[in-house]
């Protein structure tokens, strides 16, 4: 029971005490079914085991935990698991640099980080821990890969791929940012290589449908942009004196009558097929364009260049002969790799035409006149001119009619193109899931038999990146004697680690089973993830891949839902000295803060800084205030309350603010407004401390208020609230309680503050009984010196009166 004397709040004692009790009682162990409770799956994006949890991790994980804990108080059966995204390059780089085994490095880091997770006080169910670099996990990557291969969703193709010269491996399109590797920061180059791909483009259209997702609009927009749907027409241009065609893609078929040239990408296959590069100028131009880095080639500010070829082609609607150019502003990877040049109505074509003195023919006119002189391309809408039978139509209408005409005459067809490329999945590195494929001596692809899975990643001694997977050095791994097919060579590439994170949320919902990747009944209880939480940097990588993969698993019969993550919340970026916090830059260590103030203070401070989705520049300058606040709560609740004289008014007031506090907290916590929720709690505790000083409410009212505050505090500061809860004599853990309820009727105060404005400006205010009559109020107005001063000599032309709120006098 409560002692009279003061005892001190020592965070580290309280925290380690409860952390070990929670561990012993396995309080966060989650069962798949709890009668009378709904399930809630709260998932934080699992971390890469880089070694230590820095303050950025704390900012990502502790508010997420507070929200999960809050959902428990809301009455849900909450699954909040954690694991490690354990494959990837840093382990290999550490192996090279420090001559340690990547597996050992990874597992040492995991052990270390799990201890640090415990210090955070997060409510993870560690019974479900998963580590993606274990054969039990990556076996299923391999099984899915084989099933995708059999369905044609995984394929091997020789093609241009992004190459990271530092990491010595290929990258997926999404992992290239501004021509640099998202991972190493190196300028990437294009290489021709046979590689494995996943056919994400088959799902482009379905991936565009995000109508069921409660995600930030920003992320949805980024995914839409990335998929980059564009509707238009592919139209074939006959080459003069040849049987071949040049196929072009355009979204502006209404400008077909204005085509005065055609431009091919330097890599366009027809260039070599028609030996256009026999021409010396053409050959030099192509050689030069190959020297340019991709970032230079796609720079919008660079001058457009090109070279004329020896061929011409025929405009299919006008039968005009037009020249064919090669220009490196045309990308081989988009559309058909060839564009029809319409200088009058496209900025790039205009610049190109001016440079090479090509004719500029206006076919869409802003004012209907047909002999315009343009000093720049006109890209807006207007009226067709110089367009044969389409003259006079609006270009929007003409677009339809010309498409129909072209389709009917078999000159081309309506086409949809996407910016999205297939997902390049193979990596020439060691520390990843081996791709479960063989090649025979004729290079035929033979999948590993399912009963042979997993293909174990062998121990390696040499990890130096050479452009080939280190697995090629392992003769024992490399060759396999197939009972029927004889000696086969294994695929030595490993999988992109985004494979691992594409389905890990399902494994958390069905851990432990080694026979199947997951049990359908179990994942159905938890899926889709109710609340996913993590950084926005994965908008077009992890989040897009996981959506794709979910649809693949659905089509393979594993799951029966369409989307993996129902709700998504992105926390903001925590910066340190204006730089993103990361292991590389400035791994701000929370350890000293935890030692000085305790986990609870660090957690509350991170949540109090501002809205979670905003982030900010890290500074610990305010944490002391949080620490003092927790000390005041400790002091207030661990010393005895003395009931002096119970005042009816104070009891009523307490009831009112208690109900209001609960209403605000529930609202705030539901919407991830941790900062305002904490502010509300501070106000409440400030109020309680005044009450305690005066002793004007009953003992039991006081006790109820304390409990209310503690329960509201418990998701944010789980340790101190548990300790005080326990000191107060409660037997069950505070984390097994429910949120207090509030009564709308008790929110009502009997009085209100009337705002009195003159011309919309506050001039006076007065506290009045609710529903005071307008006449009463006028009486007050007539007596108010402040009001009199402002209306003296003026005429009241209007009174705006809102009952129980405000009176605005409009004077002239």
Q: Restricting to residues 388-417, which ones interact with RNA according to CB under 7 A?
A: 417
Nearest to RNA of 585, 737 (CB atom):
585
Residues 791-810 that bind RNA (CB under 7 A): 798, 800, 802, 805-806, 808, 810
Q: Could you tell me which stretch among 72-80, 236-244, 606-614, 702-710 binds RNA (CB under 7 A)?
A: 606-614
User: Can you give the length of the chain in residues?
Assistant: 812
C-alpha to C-alpha distance for 185 and 584, rounded to whole angstroms: 12
Residue among 753, 770, 794, 796 that touches RNA (CB under 7 A): 753
For the CB of residue 171, give the shortest distance to RNA in the complex, in Å.
13
β-bridge partners, 159: 193
By rule CB under 7 A, what string of x and - marks binding of each residue 325-344 to RNA?
A: ---xxxxx-xxxx-xx----
Look at the block and give the residue holding tokens 């799956």: 41
Q: Is 684 in the site for RNA (CB under 7 A)?
A: no
Task: Please state the φ and ψ torsions of residue 294, each to the nearest 5 degrees.
Answer: -60, -35
Residues 444-473 that bind RNA (CB under 7 A): none
Nearest to RNA of 515, 785 (CB atom):
785
For the CB of residue 759, give the shortest distance to RNA in the complex, in Å.
5
Nearest to RNA of 222, 556 (CB atom):
222
Q: Could you tell me which stretch among 95-103, 322-330, 434-442, 743-751 binds RNA (CB under 7 A)?
A: 322-330
For the CB of residue 707, give the shortest distance to RNA in the complex, in Å.
20
Q: Is 41 in the site for RNA (CB under 7 A)?
A: no
Give per-residue burial for 371-396: e unless 16+ CB within 10 Å, then b.
Answer: eeeeeebbeeebbbbbbeebbebebe
For the CB of residue 542, give the shortest distance to RNA in the complex, in Å.
13
Residues 415-444 that bind RNA (CB under 7 A): 417, 419
C-alpha to C-alpha distance for 41 and 509, rounded to whole angstroms: 9
Which of 532, 566, 524, 564 is closest to 547 using CA atoms? Answer: 564
User: In 87-186, at which residue ranges do the beta strands (DSSP E only) sit?
Assistant: 154-164, 169-171, 176-177, 180-181
Q: What is the DSSP string of 518-529?
A: --HHHHHHHPSB
Nearest to RNA of 380, 729 (CB atom):
380
For the CB of residue 141, give the shortest distance to RNA in the complex, in Å.
26
Q: Is 167 in the site for RNA (CB under 7 A)?
A: no
Residues 510-539 that bind RNA (CB under 7 A): 536
For the CB of residue 622, give the shortest distance to RNA in the complex, in Å.
4
Distance (Å) of CA 464 to CA 102, 108, 162, 166, 664: 12, 22, 20, 11, 57
| Cα four-point dihedral sign 600, 606, 607, 613 | negative
Nearest to RNA of 76, 612 (CB atom):
612
Residues 659-678 that bind RNA (CB under 7 A): 673, 675-676, 678
For the CB of residue 580, give the shortest distance to RNA in the complex, in Å.
8
Residue among 645, 760, 775, 793 that touches RNA (CB under 7 A): 760
- Strands in 531-534's sheet, in edge-to-edge order, are 77-79, 39-44, 531-534, 568-570
Nearest to RNA of 420, 460 (CB atom):
420
Q: Could you tell me which stretch among 102-110, 405-413, 612-620, 706-714 binds RNA (CB under 7 A)?
A: 612-620
Nearest to RNA of 8, 241 (CB atom):
8
For the CB of residue 806, give the shortest distance to RNA in the complex, in Å.
5
Q: Could you tell me which stretch among 78-86, 441-449, 491-499, 750-758 binds RNA (CB under 7 A)?
A: 750-758
Residue among 115, 278, 302, 794 that touches RNA (CB under 7 A): 302
Residue among 683, 698, 768, 791 that touches RNA (CB under 7 A): 683
CA angle 198/201/206 to nearest 5° reads 120
β-bridge partners, 161: 191
Q: Is 177 in the site for RNA (CB under 7 A)?
A: yes
For the CB of residue 628, give the shortest distance to RNA in the complex, in Å.
4
Nearest to RNA of 183, 554 (CB atom):
183
294 by Cβ neighbours in 10 Å (0-12 / 13-18 / 19+) ranks as middle
By rule CB under 7 A, what string of x and - marks binding of each residue 207-226 to RNA?
A: ----------xx--xx--xx
Which of 342, 376, 319, 320 is closest to 263 using CA atoms? Answer: 342
Task: Please state the φ and ψ torsions of residue 624, each to the nearest 5 degrees.
Answer: -60, -35
Residue among 19, 759, 772, 784 that touches RNA (CB under 7 A): 759
477-486: long-range pairs with CB below 8 Å, 24+: 480/438, 482/438, 482/446, 485/440, 485/446, 486/440
Q: Is 682 in the site for RNA (CB under 7 A)?
A: yes
Q: Is 800 helix (H, G, I), strand (E, B) or coil?
A: strand
Q: Are 239 and 245 in contact (CB under 8 A)?
A: yes
Nearest to RNA of 118, 328 (CB atom):
328
Give per-residue burial for 688-723: e unless 16+ CB within 10 Å, then b.
Answer: beebbeebbbeeebbebbbbbbbbbbbbbbbbbbbb
Total of residues contacting RNA (CB under 7 A): 80
For the CB of residue 427, give the shortest distance to RNA in the complex, in Å.
20
Residue among 625, 652, 698, 727 that touches RNA (CB under 7 A): 625
Reading the block at residue 432, the tokens are 């990843």
Q: Could you tell me which stretch among 116-124, 654-662, 721-729, 754-762 binds RNA (CB under 7 A)?
A: 754-762
For the CB of residue 70, give the shortest distance to RNA in the complex, in Å.
17
For the CB of residue 56, give the shortest distance to RNA in the complex, in Å.
15
C-alpha to C-alpha distance for 446 and 146, rounded to whole angstroms: 10
Nearest to RNA of 186, 446 (CB atom):
186
For the CB of residue 300, give the shortest distance to RNA in the complex, in Å.
4
Distance (Å) of CA 715 to CA 56, 71, 396, 742: 19, 9, 57, 18
Distance (Å) of CA 179 to CA 174, 211, 220, 289, 496: 11, 32, 23, 16, 19
Q: Are 263 and 352 in contact (CB under 8 A)?
A: yes
Residues 104-133 that bind RNA (CB under 7 A): none
Reading the block at residue 331, the tokens are 């990308």
Kindly compute the dihedral angle of the four CA atoms of residues 670, 671, 677, 680, in this order, to the nearest 10 degrees.
-90
Q: Are 430 and 469 in contact (CB under 8 A)?
A: yes
Residues 261-290 that bind RNA (CB under 7 A): 265
Nearest to RNA of 21, 802 (CB atom):
802
Nearest to RNA of 165, 625 (CB atom):
625
Q: Are 123 and 734 in contact (CB under 8 A)?
A: no
Q: Is 610 in the site for RNA (CB under 7 A)?
A: yes
C-alpha to C-alpha distance for 322 and 320, rounded to whole angstroms: 6
Residues 59-88 that bind RNA (CB under 7 A): none
Q: Is 250 in the site for RNA (CB under 7 A)?
A: yes
C-alpha to C-alpha distance for 720 and 426, rounded to whole angstroms: 49
Q: Is 632 in the site for RNA (CB under 7 A)?
A: yes
Cα atoms found within 13 Å of the Cα of residue 107, Cβ hemisphere only? 6
Pairing of strands 574-576, 616-617: parallel
C-alpha to C-alpha distance for 406 and 341, rounded to whole angstroms: 18
For the CB of residue 334, give the shortest distance to RNA in the complex, in Å.
4
Residue among 582, 616, 778, 788 that touches RNA (CB under 7 A): 616
Residue among 8, 158, 408, 621 that touches RNA (CB under 7 A): 621
| Cα four-point dihedral sign 631, 632, 634, 640 | positive
Residue among 16, 112, 247, 298 that touches RNA (CB under 7 A): 298
Q: Is 355 in the site for RNA (CB under 7 A)?
A: no
Nearest to RNA of 35, 782 (CB atom):
782
Nearest to RNA of 624, 743 (CB atom):
624
Residue among 299, 466, 589, 738 that touches RNA (CB under 7 A): 299
Round to the nearest angstrom and report the end-to-end CA distance of the chain. 67
């Amino acid at each position: 029971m409560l002692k009279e004397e003061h005892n001190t709040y020592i965070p580290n004692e309280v925290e380690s005490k409860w952390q070990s009790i929670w561990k012993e009682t396995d309080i966060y162990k989650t069962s798949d079914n709890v009668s009378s409770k709904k399930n809630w799956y709260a998932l934080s994006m699992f971390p890469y085991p880089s070694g230590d949890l820095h303050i950025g991790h704390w900012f990502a994980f502790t508010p997420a935990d507070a929200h999960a804990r809050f959902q428990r108080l809301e009455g849900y059966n909450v699954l909040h698991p954690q694991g490690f995204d354990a494959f990837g390059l840093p382990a290999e780089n550490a192996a090279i640099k420090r001559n340690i085994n990547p597996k050992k490095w990874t597992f040492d880091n995991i052990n270390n980080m799990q201890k640090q997770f415990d210090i955070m006080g997060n409510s993870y169910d560690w019974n479900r821990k998963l580590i993606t670099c274990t054969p039990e996990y990556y076996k299923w990557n391999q099984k899915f890969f084989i099933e995708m291969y059999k369905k044609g969703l995984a394929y091997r193709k020789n093609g241009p791929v992004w190459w990271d010269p530092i990491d010595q491996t290929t990258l997926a399109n999404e992992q290239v940012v501004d021509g640099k590797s998202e991972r190493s920061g190196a300028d990437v180059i294009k290489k021709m290589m046979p590689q494995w791909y996943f056919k994400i483009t088959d799902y482009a259209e379905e991936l565009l449908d995000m109508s069921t997702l409660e995600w930030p609009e920003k992320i949805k927009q980024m995914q839409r942009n990335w998929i980059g749907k564009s509707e238009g027409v592919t139209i074939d241009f006959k080459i003069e004196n040849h049987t071949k065609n040049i196929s072009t893609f355009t979204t502006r078929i209404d400008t077909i009558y204005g085509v005065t040239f055609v431009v091919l990408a330097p890599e366009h296959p027809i260039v070599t097929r028609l030996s256009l590069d026999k021409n010396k100028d053409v050959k030099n131009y192509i050689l030069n364009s190959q020297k340019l880095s991709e970032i230079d080639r796609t720079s919008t500010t660079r001058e457009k260049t090109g070279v004329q070829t020896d061929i011409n082609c025929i405009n299919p609607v006008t039968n005009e002969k037009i020249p064919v150019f090669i220009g490196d502003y045309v990308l081989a990877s988009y559309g058909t790799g060839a564009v029809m040049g319409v200088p009058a109505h496209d900025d790039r074509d205009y610049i190109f035409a001016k440079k090479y003195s090509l004719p500029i023919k206006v076919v869409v006119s802003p004012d209907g006149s047909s002999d315009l002189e343009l000093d720049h391309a006109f890209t807006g809408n207007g009226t067709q001119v110089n367009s044969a039978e389409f003259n006079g139509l609006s270009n929007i209408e003409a677009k339809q009619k010309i498409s129909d005409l072209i389709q009917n005459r078999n000159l081309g067809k309506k086409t949809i193109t996407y910016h999205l490329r297939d997902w390049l999945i193979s990596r020439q590195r060691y520390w990843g899931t081996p791709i479960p494929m063989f090649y025979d001596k004729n290079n035929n692809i033979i999948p590993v038999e399912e009963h042979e899975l997993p293909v174990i990643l062998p121990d390696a001694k040499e990890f130096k990146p050479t452009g080939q997977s280190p697995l090629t050095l392992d003769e024992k791994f490399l060759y396999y004697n197939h009972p029927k097919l004889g000696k086969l060579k294994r695929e030595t590439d490993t999988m992109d680690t985004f494979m691992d994170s594409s389905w890990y949320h399902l494994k958390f919902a069905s851990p432990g089973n080694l026979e199947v990747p997951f049990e359908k009944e179990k994942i159905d209880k938890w899926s889709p993830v109710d609340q996913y939480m993590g950084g926005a940097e994965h908008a077009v990588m992890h989040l897009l891949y996981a959506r794709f993969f979910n649809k693949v698993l659905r089509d393979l019969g594993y799951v029966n839902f369409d989307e993996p993550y129902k709700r998504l919340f992105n926390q903001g970026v925590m910066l340190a000295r204006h730089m993103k916090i990361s292991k590389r830059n400035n791994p701000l260590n929370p350890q000293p803060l935890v030692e000085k103030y305790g986990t609870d203070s660090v957690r509350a401070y991170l949540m109090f800084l501002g809205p979670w989705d905003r982030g900010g520049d890290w500074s610990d300058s305010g944490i002391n205030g949080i620490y003092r606040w927790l000390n005041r709560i400790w002091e207030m609740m661990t010393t005895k309350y003395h009931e002096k004289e119970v005042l009816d008014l104070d009891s009523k007031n307490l009831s009112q603010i208690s109900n209001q506090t609960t209403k605000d907290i529930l609202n705030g916590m539901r919407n991830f407004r941790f900062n305002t929720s904490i502010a509300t709690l501070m106000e409440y505790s400030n109020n309680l401390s005044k009450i305690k000083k005066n002793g004007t409410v009953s003992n039991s009212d006081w006790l109820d208020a304390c409990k209310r505050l503690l329960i509201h505090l418990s998701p944010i500061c789980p340790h101190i609230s548990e300790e005080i809860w326990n000191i107060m004599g409660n037997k069950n853990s505070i984390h097994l309680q429910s949120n207090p309820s509030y009564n709308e009727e008790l929110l009502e105060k009997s009085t209100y503050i009337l705002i009195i404005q003159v011309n919309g400006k506050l001039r006076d205010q007065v506290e009045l009984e609710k529903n005071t009559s307008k006449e009463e109020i006028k009486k007050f107005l007539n007596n108010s010196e402040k009001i009199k001063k402002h209306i003296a000599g003026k005429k009241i032309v209007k009174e705006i009166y809102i009952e129980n709120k405000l009176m605005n006098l409009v004077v002239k």
